[in-house]
Structure 1
């Protein structure tokens, strides 16, 4: 190893260790970009097991896990009966204490990024479930998650054949699959009812493509509710099972329900439009002129809204996939300013839609509660001033609400500890949390009654006593009834005072004085504002909106209202004058009437089940007593003898053999109306829950790639790759091979292990790359091998940035297998042939990179955002024949949405080899190019010009036949040119594309064809150059000067040919999915030496940059 290489290697090693960095590899081998998952804590998993589930938990959430598995078992028969599918194996549920904890999971870290094609993902009976903070909402979420997982398994992963078939079919839309799950878990709820009426009022066509995923789910839920109301509950399983076969949701609905799909959608529209028309006659629609948040192009959700104590300002928080902004509105001029930004935009991860929360400390200081780095943070920031105060909220896992008391020294909160929801007082001076309630009931939206130490909160408790434990199981927790309670903090042993007592959900209480309490209620079917008078205990409806109010803040002094509601499928913040005094009335909606009747029926059934004597008494009153005939005494017969003259059968009734009526068995009220499958599952269910057991690492297959690729040197090749991991994807194993169809052209193999459980990710990898240069006519038969062993260390700085370092050992081998080398030749020493025909070189080195990725996938071959990668490789020679070299690369990509259906993508790439033996970049061509062409230059300088060792020695050509540099050289893309049009130790390229996705341009058209759905039209411009020592930015560069010399002459001349050192191309292209692979066809117009050349067509497979 040279001294220069040793110094460079030592310097880079010191820098890499200082930053704890990780590895970078080519796109063909690794996914170099992507988000990071950061582990802030260790998860020691255990699990409970039952017949159909395994629920995994950690920490002190064992009771919650046991309640969860018992509840899921009780719901399992209902779920499977509705969807008509029974899983092949137990369902594994990984239970997280909060969304913040779940965001640390490695499951699904690869997300939706693209593969070249031929990838089969294995559907697993597994899901991750984050606790919501209360039993009522968690029950619905648990049922939704299990149902959605079963539907995915049903449609895409029942067996290996279906998994392979799925990789070639168009996915069924979200409204169809997740809509069923939402309906099974929540039924016909107010959210889906509002969404359907809002969508139909603002859209004439029944197209959901342009809507966000949440709105798609709600509309899908409304569709399945309509199917149930019109065609019956059993129709769901029929439609699903047909969709499993046909892989087409429209045809499945048509054939199952017996109506054309368009007619079905019109019936759905008429169903909800009729309800909407009825509601519009009595209710007021929110006025769009009062919207202050614009059109909400980002489709953000608004988590909280609060007026300041003086009413001069109000603040609201907008959440966009994990990144949030706190905006403050000046009520005098309605000017909006941004007070605080935080969070990271997350993709393919669950978002906590409850945070951030807002509360004013005083007229000019706003408090914000949000989650960061796995902790709940309370931030206080003054308006118009820099700086902020931050504290970590102790103990609480899920903060559902919070409010400062006057003075800002104490706050009231609702949240959970160890899975139990309660009300807490947070003393900010002491940093202590104190319980107010201590039971298993759910508490929400606690607030102070202004000027007092009394609080108002919502709860599903059915008693006012403080000395009760609450529901023992999830099934017992009330989910549809939340009432308002007050409690005096000065009297900790007093009872709770129940303010409201209705079969409704009363939330978001606000008490500006000790008389009036404002709150939201769905008592009439739509969330509206109510006012409760504590003195006379009368509640009055004071708003009459046709669409539900999600959140609100009321300023009674100035009679102004700010609230959140939906309009045209998106949330908006409304700001308007509002007296809050006048009584309003709205009739009960059809949905609410059905819901109330079901609640009352369920309560009657619960009474019968809990007290069977009620049913027995009814049966006794309805049945007549049997009358026995008088007994006859027989004196002439002995005891036990049979009277054959007058024999009577034991049965009192006689059988009419001509018209016999079978006896009907007595109906069991607990199983009436249920299918045989449901009854059978319950009869076979294991009542006991086993465990807890320690978690064991079990390996499962994640995906399998069976495809092809086109190597620039070896040509068409088969690609096989498998990836396996444990349940939590903390341990990953992958292996693969690339085998050219011409089996004598070489191969690639690799095997890799990654350990991702801790903050620092570790990896170990072995790879071998073999290239064979073969030309029988020229007696060329050479093999080049590269063996590499790597140990990687990766440290994520954030979800978007990571640094990595990878020390490695590499060994190259050159073998010339020309049979002529075995023939003795007197003019050549045989030992030379033996040494030159088998050469090896060993390297010890270090690779490092910094990766930044703030891009998001918005469609097939479409991103938005920015991603960048800076890498450096240092190779230090260990053997005498190994000459060290180094490489640095910079790759920056930006994706920008211009407008509907129009995207700009740009890429800047720079690479440089340097050191004792710098390698080369080959500029031109594209990856995986069918019918590709390569330019081959002078054997003295071109590593792609292979020469037999025998010819070089015998003819004394001066050409080194060992082209092992080809194992390290890089190809740089430039459309419209052959491979290796330019080459050099440095390369610089820039590419820009305008992408037109057809499916987004035709949002109002129903595109069923997979090829058309993924079709894109692209316009592009590429420019690049490669050079050695004279850059193209100089007048004299490596592309426009030539050195002319004559053998034996001491003189030489340098001629400037004035060639343009830049290769350019422009053109158009189309790309789409075909037979499971993403293909591209491009027509390029090369621009070389300032002249536009004839167009060239290039066909390739794989995605763009």
Structure 2
């Protein structure tokens, strides 16, 4: 049998492999490069996830230019872009000062109107690893941000994005040479970099403090490594907060610098802190444990008698929580990384019922916990559920009695709804985003009309309907600096102040709001009504989010003088002779001073002047709980006085119901972190509750004293506090030596302080009241000095124009089957040719938005035979994605002359096969994981004999031309956990329709269809199951069949990308000319290629992948070889056959022709039939790792054929497993 020229590469030294890195460099490190279009029958079949564009606003992008940033936006995201670019320029100097690093290029910020739009973007579609909730996405010098109704969160995203770009530049360099060098030598743990960007994004918050307290008190985390392994981003944030607090913010940049210089995290710790990584992290954990242990002595747990038993075995997030108006039922929603379910539970019987479900699990993108929203109708019989489906906000009204469901879509102007509550059975109060502004609306369900209540750039969230002092009102949280509603555009005041509680009277619709709180250091959220007089909200004043209760009382704001003229008219003025409790500047916007008015009036026309007090309402608030965990949310039933609250402890959310007395006041324990912020602001600490001894309870997980037992006391055990002033708040505005820094969230005009009147004589039924809050000063932050607020002109819009950049240029060594991987079949002498290892040069270009991607590549084999060229372009701007492909390959092979050859000539000659292929692919995504695809292709295989004698010179050229259509349905929700480790499922069902044709240009243009027609139907399904945090079980099932006048020949046996392939000559190939192409069917280890063949195949693979060295080290394994080293146990089973069944008597594998004699003239030919089991199996063990930048696989396998174990065989291949 003649050998092909391919066998020559076995003799070529593979030292060329080591000259080229198998990695491609970009600004984010190194990733393995692999082509996406592969043969359908190999284990490298392409799958892929999708980005779905539900609207056309992405068609037109614009940009703003500022000194350090280029901000891109589209459509309704314009207002978000305005605030984003101002906050970016404002915070840029502070982040630079913190990290002590400068950039030479501008940072590009891409602004999206909400999280749903961000997830529709094509940018970063090829990223392998996850984007967790709350994490800002950074690609190169591009930062992606979205608006969720809170400008402070938008600011945190911007700061985090700036920090991410600066840290990447600082650690890995700014040019390609530095990136390649540092990425290879500097392998930083995830917690180090992601935690640092989170630390730079936002200061330590009560939510962070509560989360760390909760994690450490579980007793699960004895070492920082374990905490960092399970919560890398948060653990890193806590670590950098600890370093900054104890060693100063300048230590952060020093650690970064020395880490880069020494290329070691531990050396940086030793030189800067004087102790290594281990001692520093141990000291950090001990520090926090001690603090939380001391704090627990003054904190309480909720009353266990009020706990609501809720089934939540998966420990999913449960939110929102709503109690029915009659206080008998609660409704809540669970969210399983995007798949949500709404339940209603009877509080008396405990029975629950699922009323609606929606969404889909999505582990690839940040989970949207904003939806669904719930609201009980005042009639107690209907539950409103507001959710989002395909970027459309939908309202479902569920009748709990008849189980009927009414669906309606909200107006498209609502980009996102943040909260809702019923005003009347036909009116709903909404807090929603419209054109990048979060405002309040009233939605009428019958007419589907909307009334806008606020229209400004301030954030209005957490809207709730309550009856206060007999008036139906809206309570909401806002960061506004003014109490009067008016149309306001963003100028030089940024809406980044803390949230306060405001009241809007729905009955008189006065634009003058009642400010419930004014606390620049603290946040108040989630207001609710308790009864006809009292309301409550959640406050982080103590450092833990507790409940505070309040009421309104009248007071004399100022005195108004009325001048009665003789003609009967009246003139109103401000009586300056009387004291004023309102800010004078605010009063003067309404009334002029009396003396000024009198100067402009003829005194002879004045009849009389009378002065009368003007009464306003002011709040009195007090603390109601002293919990050891944050209250996540709360809701009430004012008619029954019941309140429900959700508190997270560990990984589980617990619900509690209580009937509270709003008059009871409780002292709240101030946490150590809150004490630090108060001292930084020059403020004194409020009174503290008495400390109690913590009862010693047995710890199931550890007997160390560091594991903090939970306090068991209840708020009900607190003694009743007699009426009187509970908390005396000093005059914070008169702190000696306190420097007041400009606050960008407050108006620059001069303000007059509020004067507090003595308490009026009002019957409060012995209620404990506290004086109104005075404005507190903002302490200096850890971030250093901010820049100035940039004043820009919004009309200076620059339209975005398409421009491409080089995404990467890579040089890799591989032997993948490019594109279809199909080869012509020309009879029994044909051999399946595995591409030899070759140098693949690739250049990839993308536009800024990654809607268009162009890639050109060239592969030169080590045999210098079989050069391949390709060019493809993706157009992903619309929902229907398109791909255009051109591919060319030239391969020289040997071919036997046959019996008619001249005796004095060599037994074989050489042919050059030139394959030219063009493809046009359409991909329609149904969702992130599922897509329908159609690929139209033209292919020409031109075979020309290389003239070496008179016979080959006379041989005519052969050309085979075929048109094909491939239809496929693809599902892929797999996630790359690590290199060669995935989790999830991938599946593809496809069919190919192939038709031959003849197209000639000489002597005349002609086109005619040939008789051949081929149909292929196949599938490939894979599932990856993590057994623990390191090892996994991978399963694959694949099969295909071809039929028609032409067929596909599947060659079973061997492995993908086999470096030294071997072909089984004992099993004959069919002589039938009905086969057009041949393709490999792999993996089936333990055998050579062609252990079975036919027009149908079925295959099963199972692998157990164990990264052994990760079990031996608690710290991240250093070094590509050791970190990616895996031991793999595998089992393969498969078959290929012709006909209807592999067990058919006419199966060619059971037939052999004996020709006698073997040399000389043939005397006789005998056909022998015998049994050979069509199913073959293989099992064994393999090793995987990265060597010289190449991912190598070595499998030692035993084959099983006809129930006999064969001799073991070693397979060495390139690339990852299936």
Shorter-chain TM range is: 0.7 to 0.9
Q: Which residue of 2 aligns with 1:647?
A: none
- Are residue 533 (structure 1) and residue 551 (structure 2) matched? yes
Number of residue equivalences: 983
Between 687-696 and 759-768, report the one with greater CA deviation.
687-696
Could you say which residue in structure 2 is the equivalent of 1:511?
529
Q: Which residue of 2 aligns with 1:453?
A: 472
User: Is the CA contact (8 Å cut-off) linking 1:191 and 1:218 kept in structure 2?
Assistant: no
Please point out which of 1184, 1195, 1208 is paired with 1:1082.
1195
Preserved contact between residue 315 and residue 328 of structure 1 (Cα < 8 Å): yes
Q: Deviations over 1:976-998 (max 9, x none)?
A: 22122211111110112333344
Change (3 A) 1:697 1:243: farther
Aligned with residue 127 of structure 2, among 98, 107, 111: 111
1:993 maps to which residue?
1103
SS at match of 2:1182: strand
Who is 2:799 aligned against?
A: 694
Q: 1:678 to 1:515 in 2, by over 3 A?
A: closer
Aligned to 2:714: none
- The equivalent residue for 2:491 is 472
CA–CA separation in structure 2 for the residues paired with 1:607 and 1:311: 44
How many Å apart are 1:1077 and its aligned residue? 3.4
CA distance in 2, matches of 1:573, 1:780: 79
**TM norm structure 1:** 0.81
Distance 2:300 2:489 in 1: 39
Distance 1:386 1:842, change over 3 A: farther
Q: Of 229, 252, 259, which aligns to 2:268? A: 252
Partner residue, 1:728:
849
Residue 46 (structure 1) shift: 0.6
Q: 1:840–1:793: structure 2 CA closer, same or farther, 3 Å change rule?
A: same
Once the two structures are superposed, residues 701-746 of structure 1 have per-residue CA deviations (whole angstroms, 9 ceiling, x without a partner) of: 2233321123653322122222211011111101212221110x21
Partners in 1 of 2:99 and 2:462 — Cα distance? 35
> Once the 2 structures are TM-superposed, how far is the Cα of residue 49 of structure 1 from its aligned partner?
0.3
The DSSP-based 3-state class of the residue aligned with 2:510 is: coil
Secondary structure of residue in 2 paired with 1:851: strand
Matches of 2:401 and 2:987, distance apart in 1: 35
Q: Say which of 326, 337, 341 aligns to 1:325.
A: 341
* Cα distance between partner residues in 2 of 1:360 and 1:399: 16
Structure 2 CA distance for aligned equivalents of residues 794 and 500 of structure 1: 54
Distance across 2 between alignment mates of 1:511 and 1:334: 25
Q: Contact 1:49–1:689 (CA<8 Å) still a contact in 2? A: no
Q: Check if 1:488 corresponds to 2:601.
A: no
Distance 1:558 1:262, change over 3 A: farther
CA spacing shift, 1:815–1:28, aligned 2, 3 Å: farther
Contact 1:556 1:579 (C-alpha < 8 Å) held by counterparts? no
User: CA–CA distance in 1 between the matches of 2:1154 and 2:404?
Assistant: 68
Q: Secondary structure at the match of 2:163?
A: helix
Judge conservation of contact 2:87–2:494 (CA < 8 Å) in 1: no
Structure 1 residue 800 and structure 2 residue 816: aligned?
A: no
SS of the residue corresponding to residue 221 of structure 1 reads helix
d(CA) in 2 for partners of 1:884, 1:497: 79
User: How many angstroms apart in 2 are the aligned matches of 1:353 and 1:502?
Assistant: 28
Quote the residue 1:53 is aligned against: 69
Look up the SS of the partner of 2:1090 in the other structure.
coil
Q: What is residue 450 of structure 2 aligned with on the other side?
A: 433
How many angstroms apart in 1 are the aligned matches of 2:539 and 2:627? 12
| Structure-to-structure mapping, 1:18-167, within 5 angstroms | 26=40, 31-43=46-58, 44-112=60-128, 124-156=140-172, 158-165=174-181
1:662-691 per-residue CA deviation (whole Å, 9 max, x = no partner) reads: xxxxxxxxxx9999x989x989x9988993
Superposition pairs for residues 655-734 of structure 1, below 5 Å?
691-710=796-815, 713-734=834-855
Which consecutive residues of structure 2, in runs of 5 or more, have no partner in the other structure? Answer: 1-35, 131-136, 555-618, 683-734, 752-779, 817-832, 897-905, 999-1007
Q: Decide whether aligned partners of structure 1 residues 64 and 337 sit closer, same or farther in structure 2, where only a CA change above 3 A counts.
A: same
Instruction: Give the distance between the partners of 2:988 and 2:506, measured in 1 at CA.
Output: 56
Tell me what 1:842 maps to: 961
Distance change (3 Å), C-alpha of 1:673 and 1:573:
closer
Q: CA deviation at 1:64?
A: 3.3
Which moved further from structure 2: 138-147 or 895-904?
895-904
| Residues 1:1061 and 2:1177 aligned together | no
Equivalent position SS for 2:223: coil
Residues 167 and 153 of structure 1: is their aligned pair in 2 closer, same or farther, counting only changes over 3 Å? same
Q: Alignment partner for residue 1087 of structure 2, among 974, 977, 982? A: 977
CA positional deviation for 1:355: 2.1
For residue 629 of structure 2, give the secondary structure of its aligned residue in structure 1.
Answer: coil
For the pair 1:585 / 2:667, whether they are aligned, the reply is yes
Quick check: 529-538 or 986-995, which moved more? 529-538
Secondary structure at 2:242 match in 1: helix
Q: Distance in 1 between matches of 2:743 and 2:403?
A: 61
Tell me by how many angstroms 1:822 deviates. 5.8
The answer to whether the Cα contact below 8 Å between 2:834 and 2:1057 also exists between their aligned partners in 1 is: no
Alpha-carbon spacing, 1:429–1:54, altered in 2? closer, same or farther (3 Å): same
Measure the CA separation in 2 of the matches of 1:897 and 1:25: 27
Task: Provide the rounded CA distance (Å) in 1 between the counterparts of 2:1095 and 2:57.
Answer: 46
SS of 2:631's equivalent? coil
1:190 to 1:460, Cα distance in 2 relative to 1, 3 A: same
Query: Is the contact between residue 455 and residue 489 of structure 1 (CA under 8 Å) also seen in structure 2?
Result: yes
Q: Contact (CA 8 Å) 1:357, 1:369: kept in 2 or not?
A: yes
User: SS of the residue aligned with 1:890?
Assistant: strand
Partner of 1:605: 741
**Number of the residue aligned with 1:878:** 997
In the aligned structure 2, how far is the partner of 1:1098 from the partner of 1:766? 33
Distance 1:260 1:844, change over 3 A: same
For the aligned residues, what is the CA RMSD?
3.8
Cα distance, 1:496 vs structure 2 = 1.0
8 Å contact from structure 1 (residues 95, 130) kept in 2:
yes
1:274 aligns with 2:395: no
Q: Deviations over 1:359-384 (max 9, x none)?
A: 22353432222222112222223448
The 3-state SS of whatever aligns with 2:140 is coil
Distance 1:887 1:163, change over 3 A: farther
Cα distance in structure 2, aligned partners of 1:694 and 1:280: 57
Q: Is the 8 A contact 1:296 1:572 kept in 2?
A: no
**Aligned residues of 1:50 and 1:688 also touching (Cα < 8 A):** no
Residues 567, 934 of structure 1: CA spacing in aligned structure 2 closer, same or farther, 3 A cutoff?
farther
Q: Residues 336 and 260 from structure 1, CA distance in 2 versus in 1: closer, same or farther, beyond 3 angstroms?
A: farther
Moved more, 1022-1031 or 557-566: 557-566
Q: C-alpha offsets along residues 405-427 of structure 1, whole Å, 9 cap, x if unaligned? A: 342x1111112222222111111
What secondary structure, in the 3-state scheme, does the structure 1 residue paired with 2:955 have? helix
State the shift of 1:1094 in Å: 3.5
The verdict on how the C-alpha distance between 1:534 and 1:216 changes in structure 2, with shifts beyond 3 A counting, is farther
Q: Deviations over 1:732-772 (max 9, x none)?
A: 101212221110x2122110111111121122110113332
